[in-house]
Amino acid sequence: MKGLSFAGRRSEDLKMKKLAISAIALAAPLVISGCTTDPYTGEEKVSNTARGAGLGALAGGVIGAIAGDDEAALAGAAAGAALGGGIGAYMDRQEQELRRELASTGVRVQRVGNDIRLIMPGNITFATGQASVRPEFYATLNSVAKVIERYQQTAVLVEGHTDSVGTEDSNVQLSIARAESVGNYLAAQGVAVPRIRAIGYGESQPVASNGTDSGRQQNRRVEIQLSPTQV
């Protein structure tokens, strides 16, 4: 079989570039249309739905371009946009519900890409050195479970963290026990067990200095990460 001539390769390269540009052209309006202005800061922000749709369109289009198929490139871009936008919208709705349910509870809601993180300070979740959830925190976890149970297409990772007081091994064991305690509570409220995974990091992932009381208090926490599986 004869290889492509230089002119043939150049023609193929130009075609690939045109297809990639088409995918980018399709992705750009999706991202731009998702821009909003923050009423508090005046800064423009891109919604996670628009970002997901734009990236999905770009990825789908590039795959089609690599295959060297005009129709596949455009179809891939459209399919990627639908998938990426669908996941972003799904997680947007879940985030909004969680923020509404958890307002004024002391639990922080963070959005990282398509993941949602719930950060629960140890002082409102557990007694010092204990792994049993405080009874006064039940209502908050009930609210979390209610939202998670409604959004079945998300995986639930419960992470336990401690400060550096005590031995490393004892801190790992305490963090595991606390993560499992929260995971078991969510399961008891109706969240399907196969969706839940619990892990303890001990003192290995501090978010503040362990040299101060306030820093150690921030490091004693449980975090729940919600990640999309399929939508």
Do 161 and 215 lie in a common domain? yes
Please write the tens of the pLDDT for every residue from 176-197. 999 999 999 999 999 999 999 9
| Band of residue 230 on the pLDDT scale cut at 50, 70, 90 | confident
pLDDT tens digits for range 49-69: 555 555 555 555 444 545 555
Number of domains comprising the chain: 2
Per-residue 3-state assignment (H helix, E strand, C coil) for 77-146 = HHHHHHHHHHHHHHHHHHHHHHHHHHCCCCCEEEEECCEEEEEEEHHHHECCCCCCECHHHHHHHHHHHH
Dist CA 24 CA 54 (whole Å): 8
Assign residue 150 the CATH number of its domain.
3.30.1330.60
Query: Which residues, at least 6 apart from 5, have a Cβ–Cβ distance to it below 8 Å?
Result: none
Residue 1: inside a domain: no
pLDDT digits (tens, 9 = 90+) for 66-112: 555 556 555 554 554 455 579 999 999 999 999 999 999 999 999 99
pLDDT value at residue 180: 99
Q: State which of 65, 89, 113 marks the end of a domain.
A: 89
The answer to the question of residue 99 being in a domain is no
**Residues pairing with 158 in the sheet:** 198, 224
Residue at 23 is within a domain: yes
Determine, yes or no, domain membership for 97. no
Report which residue type is found at 84: G
User: 146 with 72, same domain?
Assistant: no
**Residue 168 and residue 142 share a domain:** yes
Tell me, yes or no, whether 47 and 108 share the same domain.
Answer: no
Q: Does 38 have pLDDT greater than 50?
A: no
Q: Domain range holding 177? A: 104-228
